[in-house]
Amino acid sequence: MGPRWRLPAVLLALVLWQGLAGLPPHPPGPLQLGGQLVQLLQEHKAEQDRERAFYQAELRQRLAQDEGAAALPRIPAFERTPTFFDQLLLSLQRVLAGFALTALLAVPAGLLLARGRRRIAAGPGMSMARLLPAPLVLAALLLSPQPGGTSTLLGCMLLGCLVPALHGVARAGRQADAGNLAQALLQGLRLPLALAWLVLLLAEMALQPQGLGHFILSELGQDGQSARALLGLGCALLAAVLLDRLLLGLGQPAPRP
């Protein structure tokens, strides 16, 4: 499809989508999603205004205090109600931390595996081992007795991504030469990055009262809020694509002057 046809094709798809939204079971259409996005932006701005007003009131109270009066306690921390964008940012921070931890462990171990034990790195055992993380993560989520903290989420991501990362790094170490090793390593880490997003969303749904996964699950449980849940899923997909593009961009060779 040529570039001049892309915009009309997108507009036609949106019109058809909105038309299908009027049919049973009435899925949310583009207009509903746009309306919910505007509402989420308004809620985020209202929470920011509430936080700003809180600190301004505390500061005015201290400035108006008489010199001889007893000192007021320190300004307490504002108890912010997490908005959609707060939870999206929190999940981004978590997934980047989990991916960084996975890469920090997988890159040196995978290179050693590729250089020192080529038979193990290339054998069927490593390929079969890639299938283990999914049931292990699922079992960990199902057996967890109570909500966990950030360390629990990092452990779930490490459990789900380490073996695929080892496989990708080992394959890059076997096939790439010294000139393009960095690019090959980043290519090998694309799948672990995608898995980190998936594992994080599942872990937040099961273990956390905050985060994008929790937001999606909580909105799905409310009547008439499927548009917000779909927005959450769309933002997760968009963030995953952007992070993947960023990872690919880091692996591109610098242009020669």
Q: How far apart are CA 62 and CA 53, in angstroms?
A: 14
Backbone angles phi, psi at 18, to 5 degrees: -65, -35
Would you call the peptide bond into 108 cis, given omega within 30 degrees of 0 as the criterion? no
DSSP one-letter code for 6: H
The confidence score (pLDDT) of residue 206 equals 81
Is 7 a residue whose pLDDT tops 80?
no
Q: Supply the pTM of this predicted model.
A: 0.81
The confidence score (pLDDT) of residue 1 equals 52
Q: How far apart are CA 31 and CA 23, in angstroms?
A: 15
Highest mean pLDDT pick, 1-5, 25-29, 132-136: 25-29
> 126-152 burial, b for 16+ CB within 10 Å, e for fewer?
beeeeeebeeebeebbeeeeeebeeeb
Q: How much is the mean pLDDT over the chain?
A: 79
CATH number for domain 29-55+85-250, candidates 2.170.120, 1.10.3720, 3.40.50, 1.10.10: 1.10.3720
Q: How far apart are CA 220 and CA 203, in angstroms?
A: 16
Write down the residue that tokens 């008489």 correspond to.
66
Of the candidates 36, 161, 31, 176, the one whose C-alpha atom is nearest the C-alpha of residue 103 is: 161
Distance of CA 214 to the CA centre of its chain: 12
Is 36 or 251 the better-scoring residue by pLDDT?
36
The confidence score (pLDDT) of residue 121 equals 47
Given a contact cutoff of 8 angstroms between Cβ atoms, the answer to whether 104 and 192 are in contact is: no
CA atoms within 13 A on the CB side of 241: 6
Is 164 a residue whose pLDDT tops 80?
yes
Domain boundaries, the chain: 29-55+85-250
